[in-house]
């Protein structure tokens, strides 16, 4: 029987041999690989890295092998993650299904659902989007109105979801629907999975100030959803939603670890754009100090994230910590881009054209996008409420203004 050190040596050798050199850098803007029916690659190395990790079962290495996973133990998975970080390997794909829905199906789904939904997810064949937010159900998610009415062997879904990332490009959606309007709001919600090619679904992109349009509003007009696509018990979706959101926060708290979307090297840019120390003004010195302080915060966050991962693998409860990590990381990202924009000065004023370097144009757009990170996956205010209730165990109604 091989030891954990044997596994580390084998994993290190495999990654060295199979991860192309170009896949061992931070993730440049626009080079994310999304799985799905129409997966696209910008380079041959992206395709090779995707296919090799897929064939190894390492898109979801700690899932059971019978559902398409790698079958690794928690200890082996920790070794794999450590070796991926050591080589700075990019994620071979981004897949919300694997990050968020898959663990929920493993915990709450039927055996039939596990065998039907998990293997194609584990092979990166389905691109998933999340249908939680609604125009009048943002922070108060439980007040959602999109309905699913029992029609015999299927549900009929009507309503709309908003802020759905890549709803226009996804193959399937996992969504919360109201299946009983006559009970307290948390008790009348169910979780469905829906094929986005079903008749009656329309996804409309929402333009953002950053110039990108990853968000959509999705409309459902008498959409038929087979009952076998109900995950968990009818009207029991709130419990599943809370579990799924914990997985979402965990995934988002690891964006920095994945070099996503923090692909701007703060200290390198500060070194390029700020004058040499001998010629620095007091304002330049202060800005340089902010940059170094931010870099130290990033390092502290990364080390804390690694420590949290170790605690999770030791089967300790880290659900509250996930909210803290999500809050800290998204706020830290926003502050980092504020520093970067200050470092660039007037070079951060460009939007398009040849008068600015590509990195300058990309950074300005990323700065605008960083504000969305404090909203997506639960706003900072929502995270503060979760921390107050579940971590600090403060009593209900203590709603005074809270600082960071």
Looking at residue 115, what is its pLDDT?
96
Q: What value does the CA radius of gyration of the chain take, rounded to a whole number of Å?
A: 22
Cα–Cα distance measured from residue 264 to residue 359, given in angstroms and rounded to the nearest whole number: 9
Looking at residue 315, what is its pLDDT?
66
Looking at residue 259, what is its pLDDT?
47
The tens-digit pLDDT sequence of the chain (404 residues) is 568 889 999 999 999 999 999 998 777 767 788 889 989 999 999 999 999 999 999 999 999 999 999 999 988 988 998 899 888 898 999 899 998 999 999 999 999 999 999 999 999 999 999 999 898 776 678 889 999 999 999 999 999 999 898 899 999 999 999 999 999 989 999 999 999 999 999 999 988 776 666 789 999 999 999 999 999 999 999 999 988 887 876 676 555 554 444 567 888 888 888 887 767 788 888 998 999 999 898 888 878 877 777 776 666 776 667 778 888 888 888 899 999 999 999 998 888 888 898 888 888 888 887 877 777 767 788 788 878 887 888 887 654 444 43
Tokens matching residue 84: 């991926």
Tokens matching residue 157: 């879904």
The pair phi, psi for residue 74, each rounded to 5°, is: -55, -35
Looking at residue 187, what is its pLDDT?
94
Looking at residue 261, what is its pLDDT?
46
Looking at residue 235, what is its pLDDT?
97
The kind and range of the H/E element at 312 are: helix 282-313
Establish how many alpha carbons lie within 13 A of residue 338's alpha carbon, considering only the half-sphere containing its beta carbon. Answer: 9
Closest CA to 254 of 295, 328, 300, 305: 305
Looking at residue 282, what is its pLDDT?
87
Pairing of strands 128-131, 172-178: parallel
Domains belonging to the chain, first-starting first, are 3-94 (1.10.540), 128-237 (2.40.110.10), 262-391 (1.20.140.10)
pTM of the model: 0.75
Residues 6+ apart with CB under 8 A from 210: 365, 366, 368, 369, 372
Looking at residue 348, what is its pLDDT?
87
Pairing of strands 189-195, 147-150: unpaired
Looking at residue 370, what is its pLDDT?
80
Tokens matching residue 67: 């559902």
Pinpoint the alpha helices (H) of 174-280.
Answer: 237-253, 266-273
Looking at residue 401, what is its pLDDT?
45
Looking at residue 284, what is its pLDDT?
87
Cα–Cα distance measured from residue 226 to residue 83, given in angstroms and rounded to the nearest whole number: 42
Looking at residue 171, what is its pLDDT?
96
> For residue 320, what are the CA distances in angstroms to 324, 341, 384, 388?
7, 32, 11, 10
Pairing of strands 172-178, 215-226: unpaired
Establish how many alpha carbons lie within 13 A of residue 170's alpha carbon, considering only the half-sphere containing its beta carbon. Answer: 31
Looking at residue 323, what is its pLDDT?
76
Tokens matching residue 384: 């503060």
Looking at residue 400, what is its pLDDT?
47
Residue pair 78/69 in contact by the 8 Å Cβ criterion: no
């Amino acid at each position: 029987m091989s030891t954990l050190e044997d596994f580390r040596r084998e994993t290190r050798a495999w990654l060295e041999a199979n991860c192309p050199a170009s896949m061992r850098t931070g993730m440049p803007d626009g080079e994310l690989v999304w799985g799905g029916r129409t997966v696209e690659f910008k380079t041959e190395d992206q395709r090779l890295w995707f296919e090799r990790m897929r064939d190894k079962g390492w898109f979801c290495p700690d899932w059971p092998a019978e559902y398409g996973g790698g079958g690794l133990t928690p200890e082996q998975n920790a070794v794999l993650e450590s070796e991926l970080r050591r080589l700075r390997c990019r994620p071979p794909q981004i897949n919300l299904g694997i990050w968020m829905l898959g663990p929920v199906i493993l915990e709450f789904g039927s055996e039939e659902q596990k065998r039907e939904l998990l293997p194609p997810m584990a092979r990166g064949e389905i691109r998933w989007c999340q249908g939680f937010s609604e125009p009048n159900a943002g922070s108060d998610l439980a007040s959602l109105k999109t309905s699913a009415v029992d029609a015999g062997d299927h549900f009929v879904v009507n309503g709309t979801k908003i802020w759905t990332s890549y709803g226009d490009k996804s193959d399937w959606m996992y969504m919360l629907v109201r299946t009983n309007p006559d009970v307290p709001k948390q008790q009348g919600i169910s979780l469905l999975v829906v094929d986005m090619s079903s008749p009656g679904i329309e996804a409309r992109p929402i333009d953002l100030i950053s110039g990108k349009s990853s968000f959509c509003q999705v409309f459902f007009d008498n959409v038929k959803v087979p009952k076998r696509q109900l995950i968990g018990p009818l009207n029991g979706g709130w419990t599943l939603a809370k579990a799924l959101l914990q997985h979402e926060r965990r995934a988002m708290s690891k964006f920095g670890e994945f070099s996503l979307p923090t692909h701007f090297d703060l200290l390198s840019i500060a070194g390029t754009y700020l004058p040499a120390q001998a010629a620095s003004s007091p304002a330049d010195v202060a800005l340089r100090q902010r940059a170094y302080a931010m870099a130290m915060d990033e390092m502290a966050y990364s080390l804390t994230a690694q420590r949290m991962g170790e605690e999770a693998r030791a089967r300790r409860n880290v659900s509250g910590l996930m909210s803290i990590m999500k809050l800290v990381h998204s706020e830290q990202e926003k502050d980092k881009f504020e520093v970067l924009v200050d470092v660039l000065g007037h070079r951060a004023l460009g939007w398009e054209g040849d008068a600015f370097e590509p990195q300058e144009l990309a950074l300005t757009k990323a700065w605008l996008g960083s504000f969305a990170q404090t909203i997506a996956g639960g706003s900072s205010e929502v995270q503060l409420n979760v921390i107050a209730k579940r971590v600090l165990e403060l009593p209900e109604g203590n709603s005074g203004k809270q600082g960071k």
